Structure 1
Amino acid sequence: MADKPSRSLVLYGDGLARLVNPTLDHLHSFASRASCGFLSLPHAPSSETEDSRIAREFAKLLDAIEYNNMSVREVIEDKPPEKCAVLTISERFMGMKAAIITNNASLKSFGGKLGITMLQWDGLIDNEHTLADLQLLASELLKLLGFQEEKMLNTSQFDLIFVHVGADEKVMYLKDIELINGLVSELMHIAQPGTDIGSRLHTSVIMSYGAALEDDNSKFSVSDANQKNNFGVPQLYPRQSYTMKGGKPRADVRHHCPMLVSQWQNAVTRKDMVKFFSFRDFNENGGILTIPADRFLHEVAFKLWKAPKYGA
Structure 2
Amino acid sequence: MADKPSRALLLYGDGLARSINPSHTHLHSFASRACCCFLSLPHSPPSETEDARIVREFAELVDANEAYLALNEEESSETQSTEKHVVPTISERFMGMKAAVITENLRLKSFCDKLGFIVLELNEVISSINNQVDSSTLACEVFKLLGFQEGKTLESSQFDLVILHVGAGQTTNCLKDLDHVNRLVGTLVQMAHPGTEVGSRLHMSVILSYGAVREADDSTFPIVDTRHENNSKLSFIFPRQSYTIKEGIPRLNVRQHCPMLVAQWQNAVTRKDMAEAYSYKDFKEYGANLVIPTDRFLHEVAFKLWKAPKYGA
Structure 2 unmatched ranges of 5 or more: none
Give the Cα–Cα distance (whole angstroms) in 1 for the partners of residues 46 and 66 of structure 2: 18
Give the Cα–Cα distance (whole angstroms) in 2 for the partners of residues 221 and 268 of structure 1: 29
Q: Equivalences for 1:200-215 in 2 at 5 Å?
A: 200-215=201-216
Partner SS state of residue 257, structure 2: strand
Deviations 1:159-185 (CA, angstroms, capped at 9, x unpaired): 101100023645462211111111110
8 Å Cα contact 1:127-1:172 kept in structure 2: no
Give the TM-score of the pair, scaled to structure 2.
Answer: 0.93
Give the Cα–Cα distance (whole angstroms) in 2 for the partners of residues 81 and 33 of structure 1: 52
Deviation, 1:259, is 0.2
Could you tell me which residue of structure 2 aligns to residue 39 of structure 1? 39
Deviation, 1:234, is 9.1
8 Å Cα contact 1:222-1:256 kept in structure 2: yes
The structure-2 alpha-carbon separation of the partners of 1:49 and 1:226, relative to structure 1 and needing over 3 Å to count, comes to farther
Could you tell me which residue of structure 2 aligns to residue 73 of structure 1? 72
Give the Cα–Cα distance (whole angstroms) in 2 for the partners of residues 155 and 52 of structure 1: 36
8 Å Cα contact 1:75-1:110 kept in structure 2: no
The structure-2 alpha-carbon separation of the partners of 1:80 and 1:149, relative to structure 1 and needing over 3 Å to count, comes to farther
Partner SS state of residue 207, structure 2: strand
Could you tell me which residue of structure 1 aligns to residue 145 of structure 2? 144
Could you tell me which residue of structure 1 aligns to residue 279 of structure 2? 278
Could you tell me which residue of structure 2 aligns to residue 294 of structure 1? 295
Deviations 1:267-308 (CA, angstroms, capped at 9, x unpaired): 000000000000010000001110000001111000000000
Give the Cα–Cα distance (whole angstroms) in 2 for the partners of residues 208 and 252 of structure 1: 18
Could you tell me which residue of structure 2 aligns to residue 52 of structure 1? 52
Q: Equivalences for 1:152-163 in 2 at 5 Å?
A: 152-163=153-164
Deviation, 1:225, is 3.4
AA at the equivalent of 1:65: N
Give the Cα–Cα distance (whole angstroms) in 2 for the partners of residues 75 and 27 of structure 1: 40
Partner SS state of residue 269, structure 1: coil
Deviation, 1:128, is 3.7
Give the TM-score of the pair, scaled to structure 1.
Answer: 0.93
8 Å Cα contact 1:37-1:282 kept in structure 2: yes
Give the Cα–Cα distance (whole angstroms) in 2 for the partners of residues 189 and 75 of structure 1: 46
Deviations 1:218-250 (CA, angstroms, capped at 9, x unpaired): 110010237643xx8696231100000000101
The structure-2 alpha-carbon separation of the partners of 1:182 and 1:193, relative to structure 1 and needing over 3 Å to count, comes to same
Partner SS state of residue 187, structure 2: helix
8 Å Cα contact 1:56-1:72 kept in structure 2: no
- RMSD, matched Cα: 2.2
Could you tell me which residue of structure 1 aligns to residue 192 of structure 2? 191
* Percentage of matched positions with identical amino acids: 60
Structure 1 unmatched ranges of 5 or more: none
Partner SS state of residue 204, structure 1: strand
Deviation, 1:76, is 7.0
Deviation, 1:194, is 1.2
8 Å Cα contact 2:169-2:177 kept in structure 1: no
Matched, 1:164 2:165: yes
Matched, 1:11 2:11: yes
Partner SS state of residue 277, structure 1: coil
Matched, 1:23 2:27: no
8 Å Cα contact 1:76-1:106 kept in structure 2: no
Give the Cα–Cα distance (whole angstroms) in 1 for the partners of residues 210 and 117 of structure 2: 24
Give the Cα–Cα distance (whole angstroms) in 1 for the partners of residues 54 and 142 of structure 2: 23
